């Protein structure tokens, strides 16, 4: 495989890709799609797509995020066009990640670009809205593709000590993502 394009979605997608970029992985390019303008400015990704809703995010409303994103389909196609393979990454639960990720996967499928989705389920302590957003998004993605990897943020609790920062803790999930990317990159 020549080159993977990673597309990080939502606030989590920005944070995850920022940490992955520091690992200097070979044969990987980065894009992000998010509604949080301030966080987007802190993104080190090669390409950034801002979904403008004047609120910096969709405050957990996946339906609103999906509706707002439909009019950006041309820009999303632009991000992916010419790619040998795209890997769409998001921690689910919030509005942006849960609402937009299925739409981006569907768009990749429509473009006949080989694509994989890596999604992360919310922690057990998160509210029902977050859990339902994640469930709905996963169910939708499953109707679009079989190339779906599901990781669990809850795993972090089993593997960290109390002295770790949240960002250090998330690296446990990043490690799993890198393992998947290495497999895909052959
Ligand atoms: N593994 C991992 N999970 C994260 C990270 N940052 C946030 N999350 C989780 O991601 C989930 C969704 O949160 P956000 O990414 O902030 O939500 P969003 O997609 O931006 O959605 P809205 O802000 O509601 O529009 C939450 O369950 C967080 O715990 C990260 O860096 N790594
Ligand atoms: Mg957000």
Q: How many domains does one find in the chain?
A: 1
pTM: 0.97
Which atom in ligand 1 lies closest to the alpha carbon of residue 100?
Answer: 19
pLDDT of residue 158: 83
Name the pLDDT band for 54 (thresholds 50, 70, 90): confident
Q: What is the pLDDT averaged over residues 112-123?
A: 98
pLDDT of residue 162: 78
pLDDT beyond 80 at 1: no
pLDDT for the residue 2? 67
- For range 146-160, the mean pLDDT: 93
Please tell me the predicted confidence (pLDDT) of residue 166.
85
Percent above pLDDT 70 for the chain: 99
Helices (H), the chain: 10-22, 37-41, 62-70, 73-80, 95-110, 128-144, 155-159, 166-185
Looking at residue 186, its pLDDT comes to 74
Please return the burial class of 2, using the count of CB atoms within 10 Å of its CB with bins 0-12, 13-18 and 19+: exposed
Q: How far is the CA of 10 from the centre of ligand 2 (A)?
A: 5
Residue of minimum CA distance from atom 5 in ligand 1 = 12
Question: How much is the pLDDT for 185?
Answer: 86
CATH number at residue 31: 3.40.50.1440
Find the domain containing 179 and state its range. 4-185
- The reply to whether ligand 1 has any atom less than 6 angstroms from the CB of 14 is no
- Can you tell me which atom of ligand 1 is nearest the CA of 60? 24
Smallest CA separation from ligand 1 atom 16, residue:
11
Instruction: Read off φ and ψ for residue 118, nearest 5 degrees.
Output: -115, 115
pLDDT number for residue 10: 98
Q: What does pLDDT average to over the chain? A: 95
- 94, 104, 164: which to mutate for ligand 1, most atoms within 8 A of CB? 94
Residues with CB under 5 A from ligand 2 (ion): 11, 36, 57
Spell out the residues 6+ positions from residue 63 whose beta carbon is closer than 8 angstroms to its own: 99
Q: Return the closest-CA partner of residue 47 out of 96, 14, 90.
A: 14
Q: From the alpha carbon of 130, which atom of ligand 1 is closest?
A: 27
Q: What are phi and psi of 10, to 5 degrees?
A: 80, 180
């Amino acid at each position: 495989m020549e080159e993977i394009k990673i597309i990080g979605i939502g606030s989590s997608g920005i944070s995850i890709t920022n940490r992955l970029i520091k690992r200097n992985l070979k044969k990987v390019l980065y894009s992000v799609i998010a509604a949080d303008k301030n966080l987007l400015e802190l993104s080190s990704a090669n390409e950034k797509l801002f979904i403008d809703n004047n609120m910096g995010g969709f405050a957990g409303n996946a339906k609103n995020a999906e509706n707002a994103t439909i009019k950006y389909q041309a820009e999303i196609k632009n991000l992916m066009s010419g790619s040998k393979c795209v890997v769409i990454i998001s921690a689910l639960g919030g509005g942006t990640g849960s609402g937009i990720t299925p739409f981006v996967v569907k768009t990749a499928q429509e473009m006949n670009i080989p694509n994989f989705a890596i999604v992360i389920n919310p922690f057990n302590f998160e509210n029902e809205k977050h859990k339902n957003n994640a469930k709905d998004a996963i169910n939708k993605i499953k109707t679009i593709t079989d190339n779906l990897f599901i990781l669990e943020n809850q795993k972090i609790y089993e593997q960290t000590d109390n002295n770790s920062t949240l960002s250090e803790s998330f690296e446990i999930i990043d490690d799993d993502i890198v393992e998947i990317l290495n497999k895909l990159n052959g």
